[in-house]
Amino acid sequence: MAACLAAPVLAVLTGTGLAQTSTRTEWFRKAQWGVLMHYLGSTRLTPEEWNRRIDDFDVEGLARQLESAHARYFFITLGQNSGHFLSPNKTYDRITGNNPSKCSRRDLVADLYTALDKRGIKLLVYLPSGPPDEDKVAMEAFEWRKGPYRNAEFQRKWEQVIEEWSERWGSKVAGWWFDGCYWPNAMYRSAEAPNFASFAIAARKGNPNSIVAFNRGVVMPILSQTPEEDYTAGETENPSNIDVGEFWRDGAQTQMLSYLGRGWSSGAPRFTDDEAAALTKRLVDKGVVVTWDVPHDVNGLIGEAFVKQLGAIGQALGAR
């Protein structure tokens, strides 16, 4: 019954970001599952050390691993709290005044696309919705106030950073997952920009078909935050406890994000291969898209135990 209600909801919302959700997310729904990697820097790294790490990232090796597991899309973090980002961005450097830049010289996103696209694997990116909170220079330059504040000046600057990346990558990036939208009523629900609509427009600057989700944190049941997002952020630590009867909310494609290790990008597998495969298939059979975070080494390669587990998931869902 819930699935039958989705079409009328979309029809009513024609003219909003959600009106195109059914067409934007069609490939995502068919993909069924994919992988996310938190590839992050540290405040202890110098810009040169960070550049060496990004230069050594083995895009072909990672792409081969994902292909062998029959993964259908891949998320990569652009950066997070340290202030290091794995793609150059002149707007970010102009706003922060960083010299040398803490953004990498190599555009790892573009290189990942080249390796993944020839294997039929879609590429998506992860970005926090705030500046790196371990970088005092960036926090001040972006005029960020942590908490339930409007933060309009910050958001205008952040959207400019996003637009530069989006315009450069164009259709190479199929979607965005924005973390840390913890105060949606204060920051994004205004009728005037900046708001959820302008946020989504910035992400789609280079690709109008890019799918977008905004993560408020672990919120159960999994819900859509705004008509401007195409799919649910779906963060959860306990995928086994999800009540699939709570899905299909507000027309957005339901997606769940969790980790296969003992924590985000850490530890040994917490499920057996059979358990991970069965859990994924159970959710996919209910129309949920499933994304698994996996640990990696310094060269961006997934550990053998997780490659094996991803392969079991791929086999359970049927190799392409």
**pLDDT of 137-163, one tens digit each?**
999 999 999 999 999 999 999 999 999
Q: What is the CATH number of the domain that holds 146?
A: 3.20.20.80
Alpha carbon separation from 117 to 120, 143, 171, 182, 225 (Å, rounded): 5, 38, 11, 33, 30
Instruction: For residue 263, list its beta bridge partners.
Output: 266
Between CA 52 and CA 71, with CA 40 as vertex, the angle to 5 degrees is: 100
Query: Model confidence over 257-313: pLDDT tens digits?
Result: 999 999 999 999 999 999 999 999 999 999 999 999 999 999 999 999 999 999 999
pLDDT top residue among 252 and 12: 252
Paired tokens of 234: 């779906």
pLDDT top residue among 20 and 1: 20
Look-up of token digits 């009728």? 191
Query: Model confidence over 277-293: pLDDT tens digits?
Result: 999 999 999 999 999 99
Q: What percent of the chain has pLDDT over 70?
A: 91
Structural domain boundaries, residue 287: 2-317
Count the domains in the chain. Answer: 1
Gap between the Cα atoms of 200 and 212, Å rounded: 7
Query: Model confidence over 62-115: pLDDT tens digits?
Result: 999 999 999 999 999 999 999 999 999 999 999 999 999 999 999 999 999 999
Q: Judge whether residue 18 has pLDDT over 80.
A: no
Paired tokens of 10: 């979309």
Gap between the Cα atoms of 73 and 81, Å rounded: 25
